[in-house]
Amino acid sequence: MIKLFRNIRRKLLTEGNSLRYLKYAIGEIILVVIGILIALQINTWNENRTNKIKETAILRDLHQEFQKNKVKLDSTINYHRSILRATKKVMDLIGEPEATVLKHNPDSLIYLTLDYRDYSPSESVISDLISSGKLNLISSDSLRMLIFEWGSAMEEEEEGYATMDEMSQTMTLPYIAKNGSMKNTDHYGILKENSLSKFGPRNHLLFQEVEFENHMDNQAWGVANYLLKLDKLEIIINDIIKHTNRKTMIQE
């Protein structure tokens, strides 16, 4: 093809027809430009196709990761709701006669108010997206916004857990250790193989103290506050799962 164009130019120059040569030269330039534009269009199409394949893989990985995170989060929420119920039950028993308190196993109830746990989801896919700069491969503005909201919500969750843990470690546990029996309490946890305290039952006596009621109220507040953070995460997780669902992707 190049040889053909060269021969045509040589023939026109030999004939000395400048006007025809100029028209031909302009036409040749136009053909070259068109060829370049077509090549660029093909490259753009290939790049978009490659990016779409990468995006599909990212959405699939996000969907799988957050489905697992949802299972773990639902378990964590239900667990802490049970802690909150136990704490409220303790508060309802405070001030009741000793015989009434003993019917409800106060050692076990107190243990339940203290046995909270942190939520630690998998974030490997999101971390890779942010660190590698692949976040811009996600075409959905809503999904990108949800990913940023997830990061902020996780920071709030960590603050909520830290607040709950600090209140328990610096206030409630020291109070029980001084005025009750930690051994009897821990008997209903991972130290259940240990025998009860030889000093006899003591924790039921705490139910007659207003200071114990204040500590339990703090525990209830800390757990309730933490649950609010977990509920916010649940909303974001459900939205991320919805946006990365294969059927939703096809509809969009």
pLDDT given at position 250: 46
Number of compact structural domains in the chain: 1
106 occurs within a structural domain: yes
Q: How far apart are CA 87 and CA 226, in angstroms?
A: 14
pLDDT given at position 44: 65
Q: How far apart are CA 237 and CA 150, in angstroms?
A: 8
181 occurs within a structural domain: yes
**Across the 252 residues of the chain, what is the mean pLDDT of every consecutive 10-residue run?**
52 55 61 71 70 88 95 97 96 94 92 92 90 87 94 96 94 94 87 76 90 96 97 97 72 46
pLDDT given at position 208: 94
111 occurs within a structural domain: yes
pLDDT given at position 184: 87
Cα distances (Å, whole numbers) of residue 7 to 2, 3, 4, 73, 206: 9, 6, 5, 75, 106
Q: Exposed, middle or buried by CB within 10 Å (0-12, 13-18, 19+), for 213? A: middle
Tokens of 62: 């996000």
226 occurs within a structural domain: yes
Domain that holds residue 213: 70-251
14 occurs within a structural domain: no
170: amino acid identity, one letter:
T
Q: What DSSP string runs through 23-79?
A: HHHHHHHHHHHHHHHHHHHHHHHHHHHHHHHHHHHHHHHHHHHHHHHHHHHHHHHHH
58 occurs within a structural domain: no
119: how many CB neighbours lie within 10 A of its CB?
A: 21
9 occurs within a structural domain: no
55 occurs within a structural domain: no
pLDDT given at position 6: 56
